[in-house]
Structure 1
Amino acid sequence: MTTQPLATATATTATSPVLRVPPADPAVAAAYFGASLAFHADVSDVAAALASDGDPGFVLLDSRSTASWDQGHVPGAVHLPTALIAGQARELLDPAVPVVTYCWGPGCNGATRAAYALAQLGYQVKEMLGGFEYWVREGFEFETWQGRERRTADPLTAPDESEDCGC
Protein backbone atom coordinates (compact mmCIF):
# COMPACT_ATOMS: atom_id res chain seq x y z
CA MET A 1 0.00 0.00 0.00
CA THR A 2 1.43 3.35 -1.00
CA THR A 3 0.54 6.56 0.71
CA GLN A 4 0.56 10.02 -0.76
CA PRO A 5 2.91 12.47 0.95
CA LEU A 6 1.27 15.32 2.78
CA ALA A 7 1.34 18.61 0.94
CA THR A 8 3.98 20.84 2.47
CA ALA A 9 4.45 24.57 2.27
CA THR A 10 7.48 25.92 0.50
CA ALA A 11 9.07 29.31 0.31
CA THR A 12 7.04 30.03 -2.83
CA THR A 13 3.73 29.84 -0.94
CA ALA A 14 4.63 32.98 0.97
CA THR A 15 4.66 34.94 -2.28
CA SER A 16 1.57 33.27 -3.74
CA PRO A 17 -1.27 35.74 -4.27
CA VAL A 18 -3.62 32.97 -3.17
CA LEU A 19 -1.82 32.47 0.13
CA ARG A 20 -0.90 36.10 0.83
CA VAL A 21 -3.75 35.87 3.34
CA PRO A 22 -3.40 32.39 4.85
CA PRO A 23 -6.32 29.96 4.93
CA ALA A 24 -8.52 30.03 8.01
CA ASP A 25 -8.13 27.63 10.88
CA PRO A 26 -10.00 24.39 9.96
CA ALA A 27 -12.58 24.89 12.73
CA VAL A 28 -13.28 28.45 11.55
CA ALA A 29 -13.49 27.23 7.95
CA ALA A 30 -15.92 24.46 8.92
CA ALA A 31 -18.16 26.99 10.69
CA TYR A 32 -18.05 29.38 7.71
CA PHE A 33 -18.77 26.74 5.06
CA GLY A 34 -21.47 25.15 7.20
CA ALA A 35 -23.12 28.54 7.53
CA SER A 36 -22.83 29.08 3.78
CA LEU A 37 -24.79 25.88 3.17
CA ALA A 38 -27.52 27.19 5.49
CA PHE A 39 -27.89 30.25 3.23
CA HIS A 40 -27.43 28.78 -0.26
CA ALA A 41 -28.91 26.06 -2.45
CA ASP A 42 -27.45 24.67 -5.65
CA VAL A 43 -29.46 24.77 -8.91
CA SER A 44 -29.09 21.00 -9.34
CA ASP A 45 -30.28 20.33 -5.79
CA VAL A 46 -33.31 22.59 -6.28
CA ALA A 47 -34.13 20.83 -9.56
CA ALA A 48 -33.82 17.40 -7.92
CA ALA A 49 -36.07 18.43 -5.02
CA LEU A 50 -38.70 19.86 -7.36
CA ALA A 51 -38.59 16.73 -9.56
CA SER A 52 -39.12 14.36 -6.63
CA ASP A 53 -42.55 12.81 -6.16
CA GLY A 54 -43.13 14.42 -2.79
CA ASP A 55 -43.29 17.93 -1.43
CA PRO A 56 -39.85 19.55 -1.86
CA GLY A 57 -40.23 21.22 1.55
CA PHE A 58 -39.81 24.76 0.24
CA VAL A 59 -41.33 27.33 -2.09
CA LEU A 60 -39.20 28.60 -4.97
CA LEU A 61 -39.54 32.35 -5.46
CA ASP A 62 -38.58 34.31 -8.60
CA SER A 63 -37.84 37.86 -7.48
CA ARG A 64 -37.47 39.42 -10.96
CA SER A 65 -39.74 41.82 -12.85
CA THR A 66 -42.81 40.66 -14.78
CA ALA A 67 -40.99 41.21 -18.09
CA SER A 68 -38.17 38.95 -16.88
CA TRP A 69 -40.63 36.35 -15.57
CA ASP A 70 -42.36 36.29 -18.97
CA GLN A 71 -39.00 35.81 -20.69
CA GLY A 72 -38.52 32.60 -18.70
CA HIS A 73 -38.90 31.18 -15.21
CA VAL A 74 -38.63 27.91 -13.32
CA PRO A 75 -41.86 25.87 -13.56
CA GLY A 76 -43.74 25.96 -10.28
CA ALA A 77 -41.96 29.05 -8.97
CA VAL A 78 -43.93 31.81 -7.30
CA HIS A 79 -43.44 35.23 -8.88
CA LEU A 80 -42.92 38.04 -6.38
CA PRO A 81 -40.61 40.90 -7.38
CA THR A 82 -38.37 42.08 -4.56
CA ALA A 83 -40.00 45.53 -4.43
CA LEU A 84 -43.36 43.88 -3.64
CA ILE A 85 -42.22 41.44 -0.96
CA ALA A 86 -43.01 43.65 2.04
CA GLY A 87 -46.58 44.21 0.86
CA GLN A 88 -47.46 40.84 -0.66
CA ALA A 89 -45.37 38.07 0.93
CA ARG A 90 -47.92 37.28 3.64
CA GLU A 91 -50.65 36.83 0.98
CA LEU A 92 -48.55 34.46 -1.17
CA LEU A 93 -46.22 32.61 1.19
CA ASP A 94 -46.80 30.48 4.28
CA PRO A 95 -44.35 31.67 6.98
CA ALA A 96 -43.96 28.04 8.12
CA VAL A 97 -42.53 26.95 4.73
CA PRO A 98 -38.92 27.82 3.83
CA VAL A 99 -38.41 29.93 0.71
CA VAL A 100 -35.64 29.61 -1.88
CA THR A 101 -35.12 32.79 -3.89
CA TYR A 102 -33.62 33.28 -7.33
CA CYS A 103 -33.01 36.12 -9.74
CA TRP A 104 -31.10 36.33 -13.05
CA GLY A 105 -27.73 34.83 -12.22
CA PRO A 106 -24.43 35.07 -10.40
CA GLY A 107 -23.85 38.64 -11.58
CA CYS A 108 -27.08 39.80 -9.94
CA ASN A 109 -27.79 40.17 -6.23
CA GLY A 110 -31.56 40.40 -6.63
CA ALA A 111 -32.07 36.99 -5.00
CA THR A 112 -29.95 38.14 -2.07
CA ARG A 113 -32.06 41.29 -1.68
CA ALA A 114 -35.24 39.20 -1.87
CA ALA A 115 -33.91 36.74 0.71
CA TYR A 116 -32.99 39.65 2.98
CA ALA A 117 -36.49 41.16 2.67
CA LEU A 118 -38.10 37.80 3.46
CA ALA A 119 -35.81 37.15 6.42
CA GLN A 120 -36.76 40.55 7.83
CA LEU A 121 -40.39 39.39 7.69
CA GLY A 122 -39.54 36.23 9.63
CA TYR A 123 -39.27 33.70 6.78
CA GLN A 124 -36.66 30.95 6.68
CA VAL A 125 -34.88 31.54 3.40
CA LYS A 126 -32.08 30.35 1.13
CA GLU A 127 -30.75 31.73 -2.14
CA MET A 128 -30.42 29.54 -5.23
CA LEU A 129 -26.87 30.04 -6.47
CA GLY A 130 -26.60 30.65 -10.21
CA GLY A 131 -30.16 31.89 -10.55
CA PHE A 132 -32.23 31.50 -13.69
CA GLU A 133 -29.11 31.68 -15.87
CA TYR A 134 -27.65 28.50 -14.45
CA TRP A 135 -31.04 26.80 -14.35
CA VAL A 136 -31.15 27.18 -18.14
CA ARG A 137 -27.42 26.51 -18.64
CA GLU A 138 -27.70 23.21 -16.76
CA GLY A 139 -30.43 22.10 -19.16
CA PHE A 140 -33.47 22.21 -16.89
CA GLU A 141 -36.91 22.92 -18.31
CA PHE A 142 -38.27 26.46 -18.01
CA GLU A 143 -41.48 28.27 -18.88
CA THR A 144 -42.03 31.39 -20.97
CA TRP A 145 -45.23 33.18 -21.91
CA GLN A 146 -45.17 30.93 -25.01
CA GLY A 147 -44.87 27.60 -23.17
CA ARG A 148 -42.18 25.24 -21.88
CA GLU A 149 -38.63 25.05 -23.23
CA ARG A 150 -35.42 23.20 -22.52
CA ARG A 151 -31.97 23.95 -23.89
CA THR A 152 -29.04 21.59 -24.18
CA ALA A 153 -26.91 21.67 -21.04
CA ASP A 154 -23.73 23.73 -21.26
CA PRO A 155 -20.89 21.22 -20.79
CA LEU A 156 -19.04 23.79 -18.68
CA THR A 157 -21.83 23.79 -16.09
CA ALA A 158 -23.21 20.24 -16.17
CA PRO A 159 -21.67 16.82 -16.76
CA ASP A 160 -22.02 15.47 -20.30
CA GLU A 161 -23.20 11.95 -19.59
CA SER A 162 -24.42 12.00 -16.01
CA GLU A 163 -27.16 13.55 -13.94
CA ASP A 164 -24.72 13.86 -11.03
CA CYS A 165 -21.65 16.09 -11.11
CA GLY A 166 -20.12 14.20 -8.21
CA CYS A 167 -19.94 17.17 -5.87
Structure 2
Amino acid sequence: MKPSQAAIKLDPAAYFRANLQCEIDVMEVAESEPGHLVVVDTRRQSSWDHGHIPDAVHIPTADIPALATGLIPAGSQVVVYSWGPGFNGSTFAALAFAELGYSVKEMIGGIEYWIRNGLPVETASGINTEKPDPLVTAHA
Protein backbone atom coordinates (compact mmCIF):
# COMPACT_ATOMS: atom_id res chain seq x y z
CA MET A 1 0.00 0.00 0.00
CA LYS A 2 1.35 3.42 -0.91
CA PRO A 3 1.87 5.85 2.00
CA SER A 4 -0.70 8.26 0.54
CA GLN A 5 -3.34 5.51 0.51
CA ALA A 6 -2.66 4.65 4.16
CA ALA A 7 -2.97 8.30 5.16
CA ILE A 8 -6.48 8.61 3.71
CA LYS A 9 -7.92 5.35 5.07
CA LEU A 10 -11.14 6.13 6.92
CA ASP A 11 -12.68 4.33 9.83
CA PRO A 12 -16.34 4.04 8.74
CA ALA A 13 -17.63 3.86 12.33
CA ALA A 14 -15.75 7.03 13.29
CA TYR A 15 -17.05 8.81 10.21
CA PHE A 16 -20.69 7.94 10.92
CA ARG A 17 -20.32 8.70 14.64
CA ALA A 18 -18.96 12.16 13.77
CA ASN A 19 -21.67 12.65 11.15
CA LEU A 20 -24.39 11.99 13.73
CA GLN A 21 -22.94 14.74 15.92
CA CYS A 22 -23.47 17.23 13.09
CA GLU A 23 -26.92 16.22 11.79
CA ILE A 24 -30.43 16.12 13.19
CA ASP A 25 -33.58 14.86 11.52
CA VAL A 26 -36.82 16.80 11.17
CA MET A 27 -38.73 14.72 13.72
CA GLU A 28 -36.08 15.26 16.39
CA VAL A 29 -36.31 19.00 15.76
CA ALA A 30 -40.12 18.93 15.83
CA GLU A 31 -40.19 16.92 19.05
CA SER A 32 -37.52 18.93 20.89
CA GLU A 33 -38.42 20.88 24.01
CA PRO A 34 -39.51 24.45 23.22
CA GLY A 35 -36.56 26.81 23.58
CA HIS A 36 -33.98 23.99 23.49
CA LEU A 37 -32.95 24.69 19.87
CA VAL A 38 -32.57 27.85 17.83
CA VAL A 39 -33.82 26.86 14.37
CA VAL A 40 -32.38 28.99 11.57
CA ASP A 41 -33.78 29.15 8.04
CA THR A 42 -30.82 29.92 5.79
CA ARG A 43 -32.70 30.41 2.50
CA ARG A 44 -33.19 33.65 0.61
CA GLN A 45 -36.03 36.07 1.47
CA SER A 46 -38.43 34.85 -1.23
CA SER A 47 -38.14 31.26 0.02
CA TRP A 48 -38.69 32.38 3.63
CA ASP A 49 -41.79 34.32 2.50
CA HIS A 50 -43.09 31.23 0.71
CA GLY A 51 -43.10 29.35 4.03
CA HIS A 52 -40.85 28.53 6.96
CA ILE A 53 -40.80 26.63 10.24
CA PRO A 54 -42.77 28.55 12.90
CA ASP A 55 -40.48 30.38 15.35
CA ALA A 56 -37.44 29.92 13.11
CA VAL A 57 -34.95 32.76 12.79
CA HIS A 58 -34.25 33.91 9.25
CA ILE A 59 -30.59 34.47 8.39
CA PRO A 60 -29.59 33.80 4.78
CA THR A 61 -26.31 31.89 4.60
CA ALA A 62 -24.32 34.82 3.20
CA ASP A 63 -25.46 37.02 6.14
CA ILE A 64 -24.53 34.63 8.96
CA PRO A 65 -21.07 36.08 9.66
CA ALA A 66 -22.49 39.60 9.98
CA LEU A 67 -25.82 38.89 11.74
CA ALA A 68 -25.58 35.71 13.81
CA THR A 69 -23.95 37.10 16.95
CA GLY A 70 -26.52 39.90 17.13
CA LEU A 71 -29.50 37.56 16.74
CA ILE A 72 -28.48 34.31 18.43
CA PRO A 73 -27.04 34.18 21.94
CA ALA A 74 -23.66 32.53 22.42
CA GLY A 75 -24.00 29.01 23.77
CA SER A 76 -27.20 28.29 21.84
CA GLN A 77 -27.73 24.93 20.14
CA VAL A 78 -28.32 26.04 16.56
CA VAL A 79 -30.09 23.94 13.92
CA VAL A 80 -29.88 25.16 10.34
CA TYR A 81 -32.01 24.20 7.38
CA SER A 82 -32.46 25.10 3.75
CA TRP A 83 -34.67 23.66 1.03
CA GLY A 84 -34.02 19.92 0.99
CA PRO A 85 -31.67 17.01 0.49
CA GLY A 86 -30.85 18.00 -3.09
CA PHE A 87 -29.14 21.20 -1.95
CA ASN A 88 -26.18 21.90 0.32
CA GLY A 89 -27.03 25.43 1.40
CA SER A 90 -27.51 24.36 5.00
CA THR A 91 -24.08 22.69 4.97
CA PHE A 92 -22.47 26.03 4.13
CA ALA A 93 -24.62 27.68 6.82
CA ALA A 94 -23.63 25.09 9.43
CA LEU A 95 -19.98 25.71 8.58
CA ALA A 96 -20.46 29.47 9.00
CA PHE A 97 -22.04 28.98 12.45
CA ALA A 98 -19.33 26.50 13.48
CA GLU A 99 -16.63 28.97 12.44
CA LEU A 100 -18.30 31.53 14.73
CA GLY A 101 -18.05 29.06 17.62
CA TYR A 102 -21.68 27.92 17.80
CA SER A 103 -22.77 24.38 18.52
CA VAL A 104 -24.62 23.65 15.28
CA LYS A 105 -26.41 20.80 13.56
CA GLU A 106 -27.77 20.54 10.04
CA MET A 107 -31.40 19.46 9.74
CA ILE A 108 -31.29 16.70 7.16
CA GLY A 109 -34.11 16.77 4.65
CA GLY A 110 -34.60 20.52 5.06
CA ILE A 111 -37.98 22.15 4.91
CA GLU A 112 -38.98 19.78 2.12
CA TYR A 113 -39.01 16.83 4.53
CA TRP A 114 -40.47 19.00 7.30
CA ILE A 115 -43.46 19.62 5.02
CA ARG A 116 -43.59 16.02 3.78
CA ASN A 117 -43.86 14.89 7.41
CA GLY A 118 -46.98 17.05 7.82
CA LEU A 119 -45.32 19.50 10.20
CA PRO A 120 -46.49 23.13 10.46
CA VAL A 121 -45.29 25.82 8.08
CA GLU A 122 -45.80 29.53 8.65
CA THR A 123 -46.77 31.83 5.78
CA ALA A 124 -48.25 35.32 5.59
CA SER A 125 -51.70 33.71 5.88
CA GLY A 126 -50.84 31.88 9.12
CA ILE A 127 -49.68 28.44 10.11
CA ASN A 128 -50.58 25.61 7.76
CA THR A 129 -49.98 21.88 7.63
CA GLU A 130 -50.11 19.46 4.73
CA LYS A 131 -51.23 15.87 4.89
CA PRO A 132 -48.14 13.75 5.73
CA ASP A 133 -46.58 11.86 2.84
CA PRO A 134 -46.88 8.16 3.80
CA LEU A 135 -43.63 7.38 1.97
CA VAL A 136 -41.49 9.54 4.26
CA THR A 137 -43.43 10.37 7.38
CA ALA A 138 -42.55 9.21 10.83
CA HIS A 139 -46.04 10.17 12.03
CA ALA A 140 -48.45 7.41 12.94
Aligned residue pairs total 132
Which residue of structure 1 aligns with residue 3 of structure 2? none
Tell me how large the CA RMSD over aligned residues is.
1.7
Distance apart, 1:68 and its partner CA: 0.5
Unmatched tracts of structure 1, length 5 or more: 1-27, 163-167
Q: Give the TM-score taking structure 1 as reference length.
A: 0.75
Superposition misfits of 4+ residues, deviation over 2 angstroms: none
Aligned ranges 1:22-101 → 2 under 5 Å = 28-49=11-32, 52=33, 54-56=34-36, 58-101=37-80
Partner of residue 113 from structure 1, selected from 92, 107, 125: 92
User: 1:95-115 deviations in whole A, cap 9, x for unaligned?
Assistant: 211110000000111101111
Shift of 1:39: 0.5
Q: Specify the structure having the higher radius of gyration (Cα).
A: 1
Relative CO higher for 1 or 2, CA cutoff 8 Å, sep ≥ 6?
Answer: 2
> Would you say the 8 A contact 2:80–2:94 is kept in 1?
yes
Contact 2:27 2:138 in 1 (8 A): no
Write out per-residue CA displacement over residues 3-54 of structure 1, whole angstroms, 9 at most, x where no aligned residue.
xxxxxxxxxxxxxxxxxxxxxxxxx3322221111010001111111xx4x5
CA separation in 1, counterparts of 2:69 and 2:138?
A: 39
Q: Hey, what does 2:5 align to over in structure 1? A: none
Structure that is richer in strand per residue: 2
- State the identity %: 48
Q: Distance in 2 between matches of 1:105 and 1:29?
A: 25
Match of 1:21 in 2: none
